[in-house]
A and B are shown apart, each in its own frame.
Chain A
Amino acid sequence: MSQPAVSDGTNIKGRRRRARWKRLNFFVGLAIVLTVAGTAIVSFFWTPFDPTQIDATSPLLGVMEDGHILGTDQFGRDLFSQIMVGAQTALFVGILAVAIAVAVGIPIGAFAAAKRGLAEDAVMRTSDVIYAFPPVLLAILLVAALGAGTGSAMIAIGIAYVPIIARVTRGAALTVFQLDFVTAARSYGRGDVFIAVRHVLPNIASVLIVQVTVLFALAILAEAALSFLGIGTQPPTPSWGRSLRDAQTFLQVSPRLAIWPGLAIAFTVLGFNLLGDGIRDALDPRLEASRS
């Protein structure tokens, strides 16, 4: 008497559409990051003009004037070339700052998760103290000690991010340390270090990769902020943050001097954030079911 009816989960089409969007995140993010990285690599060999070449005859040129794609600054330096080389600085800072954070933070977090008790408290509370320190203050201290420059900025950002990585590592590792395969490894005589490196790290890698990608974006932003304050990258090395600082004086006359480096920063940070989101979604097992 009744027709066979069809019950369609709850709104499965909407779910699929969302899943597609999320994959789009990943590819757009990846495309942006690859573009930035490509630009940085190309700028090692070729830029339209010498980015540091001062040309008093052509200051403050507009877009596409005299072959300058984005125009020139107050000293007649080519903006486009500066932004291209600025990508080097941004990525360099990102890579090294994150490398510092990872190299120090992961062992600390893993140690805390493996030891528990007093040792854990000591390590994690110390890292909380560092976390409570504003990165800019940390940077100023380091600049006072080491002198201003990209290196000091990198180290300051790296140190500021150590607690973040340590916390994420500890949280994820705690769960894995409770699992039976870790107990099994102990029962056949493996020590903490081996267990942490061979059993725990591979199982928390996905969480860390996502965190690292997001921190990369934050590091680029932090470098721009420090350079803007004048305690980061020093002239003549081009940096997006410093370009912004230089542009400040001419904001009334020529706002595009600030717009282009600002856009470069926004674009790159967006790219890394999208990539981070995309990786998170790709590694999230809860989404896996709806994909198959």
Chain B
Amino acid sequence: MTTPLIEVEGLTVTAGLNVLVDDVAFTLESGSRTGIIGESGSGKTMTALAIMGLLPDGLTATGSVRLRGEELLGQDDKELVTQRGNSMSMIFQEPLAALNPVMRIGRQIAEPLLIHREISRAEAFLIAINLLESVGIDDPERRAKAFPHELSGGQRQRALIAMALANGPALVIADEPTTALDVTVQAQVLGVLRDQVVARDTALILITHDLPVVASVADSVIVLRDGAIVESGPTQEVFQTPSDLYTRQLVDAVPPLSRSVTVIPKHVEPQIDGEPIVEMTDIRRTYRLRKRNLADPAPLIHALDGVTIDVLRGETLGIVGESGSGKTTLARIIMGLDTPTSGVVVVDGIPLDSKQNLRRVRDVAQMVFQDPMGSLDPRMLVEDVVAEPLRSLRVGGDHRKRVAELLDAVSLPSDAVHRYPHEFSGGQRQRIAIARALAPGPRLLIADEPVSALDMSVQTVTLDLLDELKQEFSLTMVFISHDLSVIHEISDRVVVLEKGRVVESGSAGSVFSQPKEQYTKDLLAAIPRLDGSFLDKGFVA
């Protein structure tokens, strides 16, 4: 029997007394594609770093990691360096952070070649150009001379893939390689990644929290929870008949739209009586960039380019778009945090055209933000965080009692008031943020990517909570997200934005089951599905 490519046995990673990875064992054959899935804190990244010998200071790995029978753990850095970038390489989540901003792309891709092979710089540069071409970058010669900031997010991630593949490694570890990308770009990058590892017979470990992403790339899957393997096996087998309760929860948390392309989920058409609470007419918002030189006029960016949207009382309006579509600008304009360059906004009968009126809007509309770490003041007790809007907007009554009621409404324990935000998990923090938004009794809730920073199972719970609260507090909700599956779950009506323009709008049922515009169709086609159907449908660009 031949030696497997990678054998991991009894791998345990500890930080002091904390066990981050607990007795993990698996083997990988060469050319296999394995997904490691788990929620935040499950130890998936630590497992990868331990294999690469890149654990941060203060963490200790014990057990055994063998590459073609040769023990890697315990080797010192000098020996490992010959493996890293040569027989193993890694792709990171945030391509902008993983690339050196002051080094040209081609030079960076050439770097692993120069380290591990005896070739000239010119030769390495030529190979780099070939690699860039193979990961689907147009005009590779020109891109090779570009700096990272001159490329788009998708191009940067492709460049990182090229860099990881440079020396024809036997194993590539990709840690959440597409989490920071838009859905259409994600589809392309995943396609490139899969095609390249297949073509080169390179083994792939794909680490992600996103089950459909794993399904579209990996042929086997390992499910981690609290550092230990709860289940592993062929991807479709695990996802279709999960034997472990935790895996089942993860699978159940996948929204219907992300399950399969063939199943178009049903959608109940809501009964909304037509009176609008927000009326936006021909909204434009332009930003003037810094002048490049004195002669040219300063370049303009059209964040919103003639947008007309009504939000009807009692509905949940989903606004979906990729980065740069202007969806957050839209939210800020409804909240009066930003003023449109032209156009009219009326919220609950108040035209947003004067300072006093902007203040009055605060009584009507409140907002929930994406990142629950950043949206709560770390130096304030939860009680003060939630009571802040009450004080600011001079809401009468017993604030303490009101805060207790709100925390109860979002299912947080009453002793939460005397703690600081950092003592809570991401999902709990988002509940605190929701409680704060509900505090002054708004009629309109603007939620800007409220679940994007949360684990998938927490997403589901948070969406359900928002839906319940919407009924309980008779709210109208504007729900903004890049994630079509989430929008599909919660929205009554949907608006699709692209580059500051409304591409398509209509009831959720009609937009998702019979999209009229090509852009909407592309977005829907790019969603990774749990049954792995999307990459085989030929979306790969």
Instruction: Give A residues with C-beta under 8 Å from B.
Output: 2, 4-12, 15, 179-181, 183-190, 194, 199, 202-203, 289-290, 292
Mark each residue of chain B from 344 to 386: 1 if its CB lies under 8 Å from any CB of chain A, else 0. Answer: 0000000000000001001000110111001111111000000
Which B1-56 residues sit within 8 Å CB-CB of chain A? 10, 15-16, 50, 53, 55-56
User: Are A184 and B436 in contact, CB atoms less than 8 angstroms apart?
Assistant: yes
The 9 closest A-B CB pairs, nearest first, are A5-B74, A188-B389, A180-B375, A202-B379, A5-B73, A180-B374, A189-B362, A180-B369, A181-B377
On whether the beta carbons of B379 and A203 are closer than 8 Å, the reply is yes
> Are A180's CB and B371's CB within 8 A?
yes
Known contacts A4-B62, A4-B63; 10 further A-B pairs (Cβ under 8 A): A6-B61, A7-B60, A7-B62, A180-B375, A184-B367, A185-B377, A188-B366, A188-B388, A190-B392, A289-B57
A9 touching B57 by the CB < 8 A rule?
A: yes
Contact B62 A6 (CB under 8 A): yes
Q: Is the CB of A9 within 8 A of B56?
A: yes
| Contact string against A for B residues 181-201, beta-carbon threshold 8 Å, 1 for contact and 0 otherwise | 000000000000000000000
Q: A111 vs B362: C-alpha distance in the bound complex, in angstroms?
A: 24
Known interface pairs A10-B77, A12-B57, A15-B57. Does A181 touch B366 (Cβ–Cβ under 8 Å)? no
Query: Is residue B215 within 8 Å, beta carbon to beta carbon, of the partner chain?
Result: no
Cα distance, A187 to B436, chains bound together (Å)? 11
Interface residues of B (CB under 8 A from A): 10, 15-16, 50, 53, 55-64, 66, 71, 73-75, 77, 335, 337, 359, 362, 366-367, 369-371, 374-380, 388-389, 392-393, 433, 436, 439-440
A291 nearest CB neighbor, chain B only: B58
Q: Nearest Cβ in chain B — how far from A27, in angstroms? A: 23
A188 to B367, alpha carbons, bound, how many Å?
A: 9
Partner of B64, one of A2, A9, A290: A2
- The interface residues of chain A lying within 8 Å CB-to-CB of B380 are 199
Q: Is the CB of A203 within 8 A of B377?
A: yes
Q: Is A179 in contact with B374, judged by CB distance below 8 angstroms?
A: yes
Q: List 10 A-B contacts (CB under 8 A).
A: A2-B66, A6-B61, A6-B74, A7-B62, A183-B375, A184-B436, A185-B388, A188-B389, A199-B377, A289-B58
Partner of B362 from A8, A9, A187, A194 at Cβ < 8 Å: A187
CA of A283 to CA of B131, assembled, Å: 45
Question: CA A2 – CA B439 in complex, angstroms?
Answer: 61
User: Measured between alpha carbons, how far is A184 from B335 in the docked complex, in Å?
Assistant: 10
Tell me the smallest distance from the CB of A180 to a CB of chain B, in Å: 4
B58 CB contacts on chain A under 8 angstroms: 9, 12, 15, 289-290
For the complex formed, measure the closest distance between the CB of B8 and the CB atoms of chain A, giving whole angstroms.
Answer: 12
- Bound-state CA distance A189–B57 (Å) is 44
> Which residues of the partner chain B approach A203 to less than 8 Å between Cβ atoms?
377-379
Residue among A5, A183, A185, A188 with most chain B CB within 10 A: A188
How far in angstroms is the closest Cβ of chain B from A283? Answer: 13
CA distance A289 to B388 in the complex (A): 32
- Contact check, A6 vs B377: say whether CB atoms are below 8 A apart: no
* Contact A189–B359 (Cβ < 8 Å): yes
Q: Does B376 contact A181, Cβ atoms closer than 8 Å?
A: yes
Q: Contacts A5-B71, A5-B74 known; A188 to B392 CB distance under 8 Å?
A: yes
Given the complex, which residues of A lie within 8 Å of B367, measured CB to CB? 183-184, 187
The residue of chain B having its C-beta at the shortest distance from the C-beta of A205 within the complex is B379
Q: Which residue of A lies closest to B393 (CB)?
A: A189
Which residues of the partner chain A approach B63 to less than 8 Å between Cβ atoms?
Answer: 4-5
| B436 and A6 form a contact (CB under 8 A) | no
Separation of A6 and B55 alpha carbons in the complex (Å): 12
The minimal Cβ–Cβ distance linking B446 to chain A, given in whole angstroms, is 9
A183-B57 in contact (CB<8A): no
A289 to B57, CA, bound (A): 9
Contact A6 B71 (CB under 8 A): no
List the B side residues contacting A194 at CB < 8 Å: 392
Chain B residues with Cβ below 8 Å from A188 are 362, 366, 388-389, 392-393, 436, 439-440
Residues in chain B near residue A199, CB distance under 8 A: 377, 380
CB-CB < 8 A to A7: which residues of B?
Answer: 50, 53, 55, 60-62, 73-75
With contact pairs A4-B64, A7-B74 given, residues A292 and B57 touching in the complex (Cβ less than 8 Å) = no
Minimal beta-carbon separation of B75 from chain A (angstroms): 8
**Cα–Cα, bound, A9→B57 (Å):** 5
Contacts of A289 in B (CB 8 A): 56-58
Task: For B64, list chain A residues within 8 Å (CB).
Answer: 2, 4-5
Residue on B nearest A199 in the bound complex, by CB: B377
Residues on the B chain within 8 Å of A185, using CB: 377, 388, 392
Closest to B54 in A: A10
Inter-chain contacts of B335 with A (CB < 8 A): 187
| A172 CB to nearest chain B CB (Å) | 14
- The 8 Å CB contact of A292, one of B16, B53, B60, is B16
What residues of A have a CB within 8 angstroms of the CB of B71 in the complex? 2, 5
- Tell me the bound Cα distance from A12 to B436 in angstroms: 43
Note all chain A residues with C-beta closer than 8 A to B388. 185, 188, 190
List A contacts of B366 (CB < 8 A): 187-188
Give A183 to B56 CA distance when docked, in angstroms. Answer: 34
B contact residues around A190 at 8 Å (CB): 388, 392
Contact of B60 among A6, A179, A180 (CB under 8 A): A6
A11 vs chain B, min Cβ distance (A):
8
CA distance A184 to B369 in the complex (A): 8
A9 and B389: CB pair below 8 A? no
Question: A186's closest neighbor in chain B, by CB?
Answer: B337
Minimal beta-carbon separation of A265 from chain B (angstroms): 37
Q: Which residues of B contact A179 (CB under 8 A)?
A: 374-375
